[in-house]
Amino acid sequence: MSLVRLKIKGISYSQTQNGAYALILNEVDSDRKLPIVIGAFEAQSIAIALEKEIRPPRPLTHDLFKNFADRFDIVVKQVIIHKLVDGVFYSSIICERDKIEEIIDARTSDAIALALRFQAPIFTYKNILDKAGIYLKINPEKEDESEEDSVLVDDLIAEELETGSVQESYKSKTLEELHNLLDEAVANEDYEKAAKIRDEISKR
């Protein structure tokens, strides 16, 4: 089975599952996406790794693992999403220490959070992408997309468009006030709020 490299497209909040997020992985050199439902903590950890500007005052669990691995010269070489059973993705972390390679079983969300911190590539098998991959935007050249895919896409990206009253309130703030709110959110370890404030600052 051939491996396909993936990159992280983004994280979308799930309206259907309270506190659940959809991690969107993008096939390199293709429009095909692989959506994976993850928990709030893992979404926060992945978001922190993606957002270089936001640094938690204390190390998160995945940061601790990275620090521990660095101290003992353990390197994460790559992550492979190797199995899909009943909608659950199974992953392996390929590690190396003293030129000896080890394979460690892991939840996909944890594996990707670590891959980001080690700057390790993420792969899956072509048959998994064929089974679970979708196209977020309708491509006229690809007419085989099912209605089920379209419904799933709506569920996945609906919250990406979320502005809400909280976002609206940020628009009335000055840049100085936004930076103060950002510092406060990071200090309180409310990284979801910090990311939204950072988005508003970036728009300015």
CATH number of 3-145: 3.10.690.10
d(CA 198, CA 193): 9
pLDDT tens digits for range 140-188: 444 444 344 334 434 554 444 443 445 557 778 898 998 898 888 888 7
pLDDT confidence tier of residue 87, bands split at 50, 70 and 90: confident
Q: Under 8 Å CB-to-CB from 157, ≥6 apart: which residues?
A: 12, 136
Tokens of 105: 């079983």
What predicted TM-score, i.e. pTM, was given to this entire model? 0.68
d(CA 7, CA 15): 24
- 17-21, 67-71, 107-111: least confidently modelled range: 17-21
- CA dist 2 → 7, 123, 183 (Å): 17, 10, 45
For 92-99, what is the mean pLDDT? 96
What integer pLDDT is reported at residue 204 of this predicted model?
A: 73
What integer pLDDT is reported at residue 136 of this predicted model?
A: 62
User: CATH 3.10.690.10 residue ranges in the chain?
Assistant: 3-145
Contact 62, 99 (CB under 8 A): no
